[in-house]
Chain A
Amino acid sequence: MKRIRLGVLFSYIILFIFAVITVFPFIYMILGGLMSFQETTSIPPTLIPHHFEWSNYATVFARAPFGRYFFNTVLTASVTTIVSLFNSLLGAFAMVNLRFKGKGLIQLVLLSLLMVPGEAIIFTNYNTIAHMGLLNTYVGLVLPFLTSIFYMYYLQSYFGSISDTIYKAAMIDGASDWDYIWKILVPMSKGGLFTVGLLSFISGWNSFLWPLLVTNEDTMRLLNNGLSAFASDAGSETQLQLAAATLTVLPILILYLIFRKQIIKGVVRNDLKG
């Protein structure tokens, strides 16, 4: 009896330690962003600032165009999300509900491409974008991401779980494919589409390597590139770096905490099937 209780206690301690390790960087980031320079470099380290230096944020905005970064990031993440969702929706509909020659081949090609790591093609894509003269443009930032095999595959499994007699019923009711997609498929898959949208937006928000490649003008930078450039420039001013990091993380963290159920469910679902 006693041994079992000890085991449980031990488990709780481990869980607690790891939970702290996971959460601590976030808390420390927010607190550190409100410290004074002295506090960030003090030994022993400061945990809670004496006085919240909100002015750090003003300094960050004054030193680098974070407003512009925000705008760029929201714009590109939204456009990629909406357009790739739209394309995946149409593609997944065709793969699930229509019968045509070559479907098996398409499926095979798409599944194989799913295995190719993005890093293997990102540099040649840079080449393409450069050839098109689209460096430092919004179009260049979003173009390769306007379709997503991954999300299309996800939606396929989502649509596949809708009974195919629903599609047949719609055909008999006189609905066109377009009617079916917008009046039946989309409303019936709201949850799935929303989850895919969220995941896509989050990954757009956190994108780094691609924008690093195709932009070098400050006005075209996305949040993470801006942040990393700012971190280099701010050198040893850790409190400013942390304030800027907080700016980058907080919006998405809030989004996450609001929609945590959908997001986690979405991640579990698409990966167990994959």
Chain B
Amino acid sequence: MKTNQKKAWLFLAPTIIFVTLFSIYPILRAFGMSFQGGSLIDLHWNGFSNYQYIFNDPEFWLAIKNTVLYAVISVPVGLAISIMLAWIIFDKVKHKSFFETTFFMPYVTSTIAIGIVFRYIFNGDYGMLNFLLRSLHLPAPDWIDDPAMSLTTIIIFGIWSSLAFNIVILMGALRNIDPNFYTIADMYGASGRDKFWRITMPELVPTIAFLLTMNVIGAFKIYTSVYALFNGQAGVGNSGTTAVFYIYNKFQIVGTPGVAMAATVILFLIILFATFLQRKMMKKVGEN
């Protein structure tokens, strides 16, 4: 058989063409556009002024702040709950696949549709959530219409949505742990808590690292769930704006694609940096 089978390029051609056109080119183009001013039909070079603009734009900083806060809160909390639930299902429940199926439902369903339901449940006056809170004599804030609550609402919805993927992946990882580890631990009389912290958690480290990366990347891209919760807005008075919201707004509504692309480049760098930071952190954890 030939060592250089050129026909391979024939089989790869569709992929290469589409990838070049719709993945590689747009990355380069976005980078280029971030140094250009004007509208889409008349772009011209304007150096770093787009970057200057966004760094001086309080709305941009709010978007970044919200996005970072969202990532920093929803990801660890979501992951912790997922680990707890996955462990309970794995360790204590008989009908594992039933619970797995149940918890995975949000992953396959449309964020827009579920966002509409959440908007209803979160409704300040007649929402189910506040009804429950009031009957427990707890404070019942206006989740949707109070600007101060926007981010909290987004975070709760984000955590709810993130459980699905996390639990299923964690269950997969738990099933992969060699059961002999537990048998041996039992022989030495290890308690349930010992087993969890000394066997399960260390074995889960790579999976958790993977989920952390995926979740953080996902969190930085948050858009649709905000759109759904607040009916196309970023919360009352833009209080819940996020990075992608900002980009969309500058690109489509305001019509300054250069600014949008500058923000895209910054977002991309933040994601890259966060991923890198995590890799380092998890390596440290792995070494200990």
Contacts and interface: CB of A to CB of B under 8 A. Distances in A.
Contacts of A238: 120
Where chain A touches its partner, the secondary structure class is: helix
A267 B9 CA distance: 29
Interface string A222-266: 011001100110000010011011101100110111001101100
Interface string A37-55: 0001111110000000000
Interface residues of A, number: 97
A151 to B, nearest CB: 10
Contacts of A255: 108
Contact of B221 (A43, A119, A152, A256): A119
Contacts of B12: 90-91, 94-95, 106
A261 B11 CA distance: 31
A246 B221 CA distance: 26
B110 A224 contact: yes
A209 B88 contact: no
Contact of A23 (B89, B102, B264): B102
A75 interface: no
Given A22-B163, A23-B105, A124-B33, A87 B14 contact: yes
Contact of A245 (B4, B84, B113, B169): B113
A147 B14 CA distance: 8
Contacts, number: 277
Interface stretch (B50-58, B123-131, B145-153, B182-190): B123-131
B20 to A, nearest CB: 10
B194 to A, nearest CB: 14
B228 A272 contact: no
B244 A91 contact: no
B35 interface: no
B172 A22 contact: no
A189 interface: no
Given A15-B85, A146-B18, A253 B221 contact: no
A26 to B, nearest CB: 7
A177 B8 CA distance: 10
Q: Classify chain B: how many residues form its interface, as a range.
A: 35 or more
Contacts of A90: 11-12, 14-15
B126 A45 contact: yes
A1 interface: no
Contact of B232 (A93, A116, A206, A228): A228
B92 A11 contact: yes
B50 to A, nearest CB: 14
Nearest to B206: A272
Interface in B91-130: 92-93, 97, 99-114, 116-118, 120-121, 125-128
A184 interface: no
Interface string B128-143: 1001000000000000
Nearest to B100: A264
Interface in B201-225: 207, 210, 214, 217, 220-221, 223-224
B221 A22 contact: no
A245 B115 CA distance: 9
B69 to A, nearest CB: 18
Contacts of A12: 88, 92
A6 interface: no
Contacts of A208: 110-112, 224, 227
Pick the most buried of A94, A120, A202, A206: most chain B CB atoms within 10 A of its CB: A120
Interface in B154-192: 160, 163-165, 168-169, 171-173, 176, 192
B210 A271 contact: yes
B26 interface: yes
Interface in B237-271: 244, 247-248, 251-252, 257, 260-261, 264, 267-268, 271
A169 interface: no
B112 A224 contact: yes
Contacts of B88: 11-12, 14-15
A71 interface: no
Contacts of A249: 109-110, 113-114
Nearest to A199: B108
Contact of A231 (B6, B114, B231, B247): B231
B27 A121 contact: yes
B284 interface: no
Interface string B11-39: 11011101101111111011001000000
Interface of A: 4, 7-8, 11-12, 14-15, 18-19, 21-23, 25-26, 28-29, 32, 40-45, 86-88, 90-91, 93-95, 98-101, 103, 106, 109-110, 113, 115-121, 123-128, 130, 143-144, 146-147, 149, 152, 171, 177, 202, 205-206, 208-209, 213, 223-224, 227-228, 231-232, 238, 241-242, 244-246, 248-249, 252-253, 255-257, 260-261, 263-264, 267-269, 271-272, 274
11 contacts: A4-B192, A28-B120, A29-B114, A29-B117, A90-B11, A117-B220, A127-B26, A127-B257, A128-B26, A267-B107, A269-B172
